[in-house]
Amino acid sequence: MKAKLIIVDDEKDILENFHDLLNDEYEIQTFSHPRDFLNYVAAERPHPHLLLTDLKMQSMDGIDMIKEAQKLGFDSPFIILSGHLDKSAALEAVDQGVFRILEKPCEQELLLRTIEETILEAEGHRVRREIRHLTSQLRELYTGIRFTLLQYIPEDVIDRLVVDAPHGKVKEKMSFEKLLEQLESRLDQLLKSEQVFEQLKKKKDDPS
């Protein structure tokens, strides 16, 4: 199934060019007016894989449109295109969660690569959020089961219950509590690594 892209630009010839360029690889939906897009978000609550929008449009700029969309619950990743992007606008875009900012005109190869990378990166963030949520649910479930078992089984017996858990290339016996703690620790390490990666990426994009 094709990934879904929404494109917003008030220049219809640009919309047509994007549609022709991307239609073979993606499911494309276009809007020539930011307000039409926002009305669509309010009515349909869509979750496309990516939003591609121009920064400067006559009725509303792309950043303001993104702010309004986020207030409506729209949380898909964004790519902003601009022919005249200043530093303050770039920083504001980053604050709104924009994944990439590209200057117009943009080379076809760069655009295609950026779209693919952004979708993959956003999917990685989504999966990790889901893992974090599932881990929290597992801990709640374990806590509830433990509380119930304590009514019938001594605590020291419960604490000796173990499972086979991976530890490098071998498995070791590990309690449920320790297994959950290890999982949460690994997730924390992953999130910290992502934060460092994001900081390095911002420095690379903005050498000043």
Question: Mutual orientation of helices 12-22 and 108-149 as an angle, nearest 10°?
Answer: 70
pLDDT in tens, 63-80: 889 989 999 999 898 898
pLDDT (0 to 100) of residue 133: 75
pTM of the model: 0.65
With contact defined as beta carbons under 8 Å apart, do 84 and 40 qualify? no
Region 113-120: mean pLDDT is: 87
Region 152-159: mean pLDDT is: 76
pLDDT (0 to 100) of residue 147: 81
How much of the chain exceeds pLDDT 70, in percent? 73
**Per-residue confidence at 195, pLDDT binned at 50, 70, 90?**
low
d(CA 87, CA 170): 51
pLDDT (0 to 100) of residue 159: 67
Residue 131 pLDDT exceeds 90: no
Beta bridge pairs of residue 167? 170
pLDDT in tens, 15-62: 999 999 999 999 999 999 999 999 999 999 999 999 999 888 888 888
Query: Nearest to residue 15, comparing CAs of 43, 40, 34, 39?
Result: 34
Instruction: Walk me through the domains of the chain, giving residue ranges and CATH numbers.
Output: 3-123 (3.40.50.2300), 128-205 (no CATH)
Q: How many CA atoms lie within 13 A of 111 on its CB side?
A: 19
Which tokens sit at 72? 């409506």
Which residue would you say has higher pLDDT here, 131 or 94?
131
pLDDT (0 to 100) of residue 56: 85
**Per-residue confidence at 151, pLDDT binned at 50, 70, 90?**
confident
pLDDT (0 to 100) of residue 26: 94
With contact defined as beta carbons under 8 Å apart, do 77 and 114 qualify? no
What string of H, E and C letters represents the secondary structure of the chain?
CCEEEEEECCCHHHHHHHHHHHCCCEEEEEECCHHHHHHHHHHHCCCCCEEEEECCCCCCCHHHHHHHHHHCCCCCCEEEEECCCCHHHHHHHHHCCCCEEEECCCCHHHHHHHHHHHHHHHHHHHHHHHHHHHHHHHHHHHHHHHHHHCCCCCHHHHHCCEEEEEECCEEEEEEHHHHHHHHHHHHHHHHHHHHHHHHHHHHHHCCC
Region 88-100: mean pLDDT is: 63
d(CA 145, CA 176): 11
Cα 97 off chain centre by:
9
